[in-house]
Each structure stands twice: as structure tokens, then as C-alpha cells.
Amino acid sequence: MAAPITEIARQQPTEEEVTRQKLEELEKLVADHKDAFENLIRLIDDFNDTGALEAANAMILAKNDILKIVLEQLSREQVVNLINMLLGTAGVFMKADHDLIIHLMNGVASGFDEGKQFIGSEEKVTLFGLLKSLSDPDVNRAVGFAISFLKGMGKALQEPVPKKEDVDNETLANI
């Protein structure tokens, strides 16, 4: 009787066979996506012709220096103030009614159009003309809005201005 098999020897492909198999898979992939690879090659060629590849390579080599410069610029007091101001403005706009903001911006654009027409005319504004224009419903509506806006702004300005050191991330988050 034959001896029982106690060990199974798996055949390990040689490095050359693994490389050949990978090349065959890559060849099939390229053949399946020929158009995409041609477009990619053209794109890379265009980047090379314009110098963008060389610039990208230089940026990759200098990434630490570039990152240091960017961080230095971002940490300047003026930039930090600008970022805080943008965050505060965004917070104010997030509190406001989206439809109202769009409506107001459309009104501002319309006002610019009317103002542009006035600038092109030789018409002069007189005190009597100003008083008479208040009877125009459009002007009255805008003046009424402006007065109400200024009243609300005045109420808010009664609050003391917070000192810079009193403003923290929680305050910014509540805006």
C-alpha cells in the first residue's frame, strides 16, 4: 500500500511568472480603456508642453518650504482678522432668512440699474423733488426699509463691543 499524503506542496509562481501575469493584466486593462488612456496621455503631454508638469514637480520637491510660507501668511494678524470677519459675516447670513436675502439682493441690483440711469441723465435733485419722491410707493418702501434697518442696527449697537480677548470659538460658533 502507498504511503498517505501528509503535506500538499503548493506551487509558488516565480517572480518572472508574477511579472508576466501583471503585464498581461495591464495590457488587457489598457486595451479595454484605450480611449481613456489616449486622452490621459494627451492631457499629460499638454501639461508637459505648458510647463505645468515641471511646476508641479518643483512644488512637490519644495512642499515643506511652500507649506511653511503658506502657514506664515495665514497666521498674519490681518489674515486672521479677515478669516474671523468672514466667519462672522457668514454667521450673520446663516441667521437671516435666505429668501429675504435673495429678495434684498435683487432689490439692490434693481437699485443699481435705476441709479445707473440717473447718473447718465442731466437731472438735478432738488429739496422739493426729494420730498415729492417720498410719495412714490417704491421710494417710500425703500426709505421705510432703510429707517427700520437703521433702527434695528441702532438697537444692536447699544450692546458693548466685545473685546478681542473676550471673543472665543464658542462666541464665533453662536454667531
Element (H, E) at 119: helix 98-119
Helix (H, G, I), strand (E, B) or coil at 158: coil
How far is residue 32's CA from residue 75's CA, in Å, rounded to a whole number?
49
Distance CA 108, CA 112 (A): 6
Which residue carries 435666505 as its cell?
98
As a whole number, mean pLDDT of residues 159-173 equals 63
Task: Identify residue 173 by its one-letter amino acid code.
Answer: A
pLDDT, position 117: 87
Q: Which sequence spans correspond to the domains of the chain? A: 15-73, 80-174
Q: Provide the percentage of residues in the chain whose pLDDT is more than 70.
A: 93
* pLDDT in the model for residue 91: 85
- What pTM was computed for the model? 0.44
pLDDT one-digit tens code per residue, 70-108: 999 988 999 889 998 999 888 888 888 888 888 888 999
What is the rounded distance in angstroms from the CA atom of residue 155 to the CA atom of residue 29?
68
Query: Given the C-alpha cell 440699474, which residue does it identify?
Result: 113
How many distinct helices (H) and strands (E) make up the chain? 9, 0
Local confidence band at 171 (pLDDT 50, 70, 90 cut-offs)? low
State pLDDT tens for residues 16-47: 999 999 999 999 999 999 999 999 999 999 99
